[in-house]
Amino acid sequence: MTARFLSIPANHPALAGHFPGNPVTPGALLLDAVLREAQERGFRATGLHRAKFTAPLRPDTPFRILLSRCVAGLAFQVLTDHGSVAQGTLACTAGDPAEDE
């Protein structure tokens, strides 16, 4: 399965106070996108082993979510054209997606 590009619109309600004049997508909003992507691929998240936010994601910036199975569950990476903005591991059950490449 090929990863599709997503974006958080500049008018998203979560951006209003995060941060005025210099908006950055909240990490919780990125994790929500990761959870939704996992669910669409047949996984049910049961926890978050780890998450690391490595760069800010600005509104309207296209990003994609890569998922792959790992020993701890489901590894994820959030990528833009400029590199990784987040990565981590979800605890999960079920699912049988092909790994994104």
Cβ neighbours of 13 (radius 10 Å): 6
Q: Which residues of 35-50 are buried (b: 16+ CB within 10 A; e: fewer)?
A: bebbeebebebeebee
Inter-residue contact 36 to 76 (CB < 8 Å): no
- Give the domain 13-93 fold: Thiol Ester Dehydrase; Chain A (3.10.129)
Tens of pLDDT, residue by residue over 32-70, are: 999 999 999 999 999 999 999 999 999 999 999 999 999
Residue whose tokens read 């020993």: 71
Domain boundaries along the sequence of the chain: 13-93
Please tell me the predicted confidence (pLDDT) of residue 41: 92
Arithmetic mean of pLDDT, 57-85:
95
Structure confidence at residue 4 as a pLDDT band (50, 70, 90): confident
Nearest-angstrom CA–CA distance, 101 and 91? 21
DSSP state of 63: B
**Banded model confidence at residue 72, pLDDT cuts 50, 70, 90:** confident
